[in-house]
Amino acid sequence: MQADYVIVGAGSAGCAMAYRLTEAGRSVIVVEHGGTDAGPFIQMPAALSYPMNMKRYDWGYRSEPEPHLGGRRLATPRGKVVGGSSSINGMVYVRGHARDYDTWAEMGADGWSYADVLPYFRRMETWHSGGHGGDAAWRGTNGPLHVSRGPRKNPLFQAFVDAGRQAGYEVTDDYNGEKQEGFGPMEQTVFKGRRWSAANAYLKPALKRDTCTLVRGLVEKVVVTDGRANGVQVRRGGKSETISANCEVVLAAGSINSPKLLMLSGIGPAAHLAEHGITPLADRPGVGANLQDHLELYIQMAASQPVSLYKYWNLFGKALIGAQWLFTGTGLGASNQFESAAFIRSRAGVEYPDIQYHFLPIAVRYDGQAAAEGHGFQAHVGPMRSASRGAVTLASADPAAAPRIVFNYMSHPQDWEDFRTCIRLTREIFGQDAFKPFVKHEIQPGADVQSDAALDDFIRDHAESAYHPCGTCRMGRADDPGAVVDPQLRVIGVDGLRLADSSIFPQITNGNLNGPSIMIGEKAADHILGRDPLPAANDRPWIHPEWQTAQR
């Protein structure tokens, strides 16, 4: 059991690396603890609430009681399946804002500015506008990852964009192109009516090559000899064995399991490792620190006419949608139903958007429970750049044990102000003329919830994770004591070991993290192969000309 490269985790970044490394003629073994992604629950886009809540596909992690959210323990789904979290996520495709990556570079991630990463976003995409406009010049045309737009047939999708315009906001034809800021169509990793996960895009084509092997097992630790990683210890069929890497070991186990694995391997905060009887090989205090996420709320409205998806929210309706999808790959089952979006700024003086909207034409929760009110719609909204930071630490030295996850959500006073702003701005959007034909009343928070104190109570009880954890092995300069990997994604302090997934983000990006995670896998492959990075792009992204003095 040996190959040039051993990749731990068949998730968003791991699949992309397996594809690019084998394309270059290298041999790769990908180790994944989860099983197959076959079956309608994963492959049918509209069924997205199922795999996220199925033990079979999810690690089942939960946060510790969150001190600022009334002691609630929040679900932290992570994909335990081929494709990783790209097989259980909401399939929303967002590159992030140009300024996100420029900030990374300012924080010490040299070579990761927007000009540096845009060519990789282009390389990975095949973009389908579906006749809905967009910025073709900014997009990719022949990459493995298909990105499309929903049909946007429901009148509520257009009402949301029109309401944003009426409220004085920008509209954008392509938030993944020149201009993120504004209201417009949302994009999804869906192709020919199927979830286009990293497994479908990258791993399955890679496995057709003789040089790519997929091994099922639980990686217990990285094997390090004389300061160099030369393999991984894997538990399969009740016994441990070593899989050897001739060149390098690459961790791509995600923002929760990658730091856990480093710590189990003796790489992390020395005192914490010693507490668990683990011999420290490299004292890296940044391992597991800097945990970030997006928190969001649903602002739900009852509809005055039967325009929402509620009419299908019964056994017969779901069976009908499922049957149409199974036999034709079309219909409501072929979309994640997130077909309109917005990115706006919370106040004047904020340079680029710090609030994201997902609009959904039904009032429903992520766990699939519909609102009691019947027909309705909702906007998921939350701040993008919270100052709150948490940590992933070991609960035990047992590789099979879940780590301890504390997000420390809402620990910064600005978080509360930002969330109240999100709610009030959303109410204003739902109050525009475009929604007049559709709005009956506000379900949640409810029209009587107006004061700061009342809104804070609502936030404390109802804020949910958007499932975008990242940052726990952040990238920085090699002399930065808090950094875990250098800009070539080499783990600082150990030779022959790299790490490429969302844990390397110095700061969370705007929007959903699947796109940026795949980009990291794409760019990492060039670093691993010792290639010159793709030439930097010269495209100039749009920034609101009056951002210093105007909120919209």
* pTM (2 d.p.): 0.97
Query: Which of the listed residues 425, 444, 462 is the one where a domain comes to its end?
Result: 462
Give yes or no: residues 445 and 368 share one domain: yes
Domain membership of residue 542 (yes or no) is no
In this predicted model, what pLDDT tens digit does every residue of 431-486 receive, in sequence order? 999 999 999 999 999 999 999 999 999 999 999 999 999 999 999 999 999 999 99
Domain membership of residue 77 (yes or no) is yes
How far apart CA 11 and CA 521 sit, in angstroms, is 10
Question: What average pLDDT does range 137-146 have in this prediction?
Answer: 97
- HEC states along 250-266? EECCHHHHHHHHHHHCC
Was 89 annotated as part of a binding site?
yes
- Which distant-in-sequence residues (6+ apart) come within 8 Å of 377 by Cβ? 156, 300, 301, 303, 308, 359, 360, 361, 362, 363, 438
Candidate from 290-299, 325-334, 389-398 with smallest mean pLDDT: 325-334
Q: Which of 317, 309, 316 is nearest to 338 (CA)?
A: 309
Domain membership of residue 59 (yes or no) is yes
Domain membership of residue 355 (yes or no) is yes
In this predicted model, what pLDDT tens digit does every residue of 169-214 receive, in sequence order? 999 999 999 999 999 999 999 999 999 999 999 999 999 999 999 9
**Per-residue confidence (pLDDT) for residue 344, from 0 to 100:** 98
Give yes or no: residues 370 and 513 share one domain: no
Give yes or no: residues 280 and 399 share one domain: yes
Was 91 annotated as part of a binding site?
yes
* Triad 307, 312, 317: Cα angle to 5°: 150
**Per-residue confidence (pLDDT) for residue 176, from 0 to 100:** 98
Domain membership of residue 146 (yes or no) is no
Give yes or no: residues 402 and 368 share one domain: no
Give yes or no: residues 348 and 213 share one domain: no
Give yes or no: residues 336 and 427 share one domain: yes
**Per-residue confidence (pLDDT) for residue 67, from 0 to 100:** 97
**Per-residue confidence (pLDDT) for residue 4, from 0 to 100:** 98
Give yes or no: residues 244 and 171 share one domain: no
**Per-residue confidence (pLDDT) for residue 366, from 0 to 100:** 63
Catalytic residue among 462, 468, 527, 544: 468
Q: Known catalytic residue: 468?
A: yes
Question: What average pLDDT does range 98-118 have in this prediction?
Answer: 98
Give yes or no: residues 3 and 44 share one domain: yes
**Per-residue confidence (pLDDT) for residue 113, from 0 to 100:** 98
The answer to whether 431 touches 438, Cβ cutoff 8 Å, is no
Was 219 annotated as part of a binding site?
yes
**Per-residue confidence (pLDDT) for residue 370, from 0 to 100:** 67
How far apart CA 294 and CA 418 sit, in angstroms, is 12
Residue 326 CB neighbours (<10 A)? 12
Q: Which of 236, 374, 245 is nearest to 303 (CA)?
A: 374
In this predicted model, what pLDDT tens digit does every residue of 7-48 receive, in sequence order? 999 999 999 999 999 999 999 999 999 999 998 899 999 998
Q: How sure is the predictor about 221, in pLDDT bands with cuts at 50, 70 and 90? A: very high
Domain membership of residue 105 (yes or no) is yes
Q: How sure is the predictor about 367, in pLDDT bands with cuts at 50, 70 and 90? A: low
How many structural domains does the chain have? 2
**Per-residue confidence (pLDDT) for residue 133, from 0 to 100:** 82
Q: Which of 76, 408, 513, 449 is nearest to 299 (CA)?
A: 449
Domain of residue 266, CATH code: 3.50.50.60
**Per-residue confidence (pLDDT) for residue 364, from 0 to 100:** 82
**Per-residue confidence (pLDDT) for residue 372, from 0 to 100:** 65
Give yes or no: residues 92 and 108 share one domain: yes
Give yes or no: residues 26 and 93 share one domain: yes
Domain membership of residue 127 (yes or no) is no
Question: What average pLDDT does range 154-162 have in this prediction?
Answer: 97
**Per-residue confidence (pLDDT) for residue 130, from 0 to 100:** 75
- Which distant-in-sequence residues (6+ apart) come within 8 Å of 25 by Cβ? 211
Domain membership of residue 369 (yes or no) is yes
**Per-residue confidence (pLDDT) for residue 315, from 0 to 100:** 85
Inter-CA distances, 451 with 10, 149, 355, 430, Å = 47, 38, 21, 19
Per-chain mean pLDDT for the chain: 96
**Per-residue confidence (pLDDT) for residue 313, from 0 to 100:** 85
Candidate from 313-322, 438-447, 510-519, 535-544 with smallest mean pLDDT: 313-322
* Location of structure tokens 């107006």: 450
Above 90 in pLDDT, residue 314?
Answer: no
**Per-residue confidence (pLDDT) for residue 430, from 0 to 100:** 98
Give yes or no: residues 482 and 416 share one domain: no
Domain residues for the domain of 340 are 151-185+295-383+411-462
Above 90 in pLDDT, residue 219?
Answer: yes
The answer to whether 346 touches 355, Cβ cutoff 8 Å, is yes
Domain of residue 443, CATH code: 3.30.410.40
Give yes or no: residues 287 and 397 share one domain: yes
